Every structure is written in C-alpha cells, then in structure tokens.
Amino acid sequence: MLDQITPAQLAQWLQSLPPTAKPVVLDVREPWEWQTASVQAEGFSLVTLPMGEIPARMAELDPTQPVACLCHHGARSQRVAMYLLQSGFEQVVNIAGGIDAWSQQLDTRVPRY
C-alpha cells in the first residue's frame, strides 16, 4: 500500500523518521520543469531524476533511505513510488498534488505552471 502525503504533511512525515534516516525527495519531473519550479531541500536531500530514467538509474538510489516522490500534480510520482516499492524500497510515499500543491500549501514563491 502506497502512502499519500500532502506537501503540508511532509514536515510531519520527516519528523516521524528515525534520527539516523537520510530522507530523499525524489523529483521525477523533466529538467525543464525543475528549471521552471523547484523546492528547497530542508530536512531532506533533493534528487532530480526524470521518470523515464528511473529504471536505468536505480543504482543511484538507496533502497534503505526513505523516499518521498514528487512531480507536477502527483500522477507520475505515484507511478514511480509504486515502482520503487515493487523494487524493494523500504519506505516510500507519494506527495499528492505535486509541486503545484507545494506552491499552494507551503511556498507561494514556487511558480505554478
């Protein structure tokens, strides 16, 4: 079962992790999207990896690290999150609503597109 969290719930999710955890927000959007709007890494590492490159670049991700997947509205990131869970990743959530919701709920300085 894939857990869904809103951008507003991300801080609570991060706080629920063990102190030794090194959480990652995995942004699976395309490079032009990252350049248009991105998040600031606070309490997590930000990894940008387009959805289409995930299978070929899985070795760049640590299956023991908690991962929160992010895209524009939440559909691509949900598919990637499910793929990671099926590939043996231990703790994965999807950020529902994506960067668009992030802009509305957490940081209005993040452009909407």
CATH number attached to the domain at 3-12+27-37+45-105: 3.40.250.10
What gap in Å lies between CA 66 and CA 93, rounded to an integer? Answer: 8
- Is the pLDDT assigned to residue 23 strictly greater than 90? yes
Quote the strand ranges of the chain, DSSP E.
Answer: 3-5, 24-27, 45-48, 67-70, 92-95
Q: Give per-residue pLDDT as tens, 38-82.
A: 998 889 999 999 999 999 999 999 999 999 999 999 999 999 999
Distance between CA atoms of residues 74 and 81, nearest Å: 10
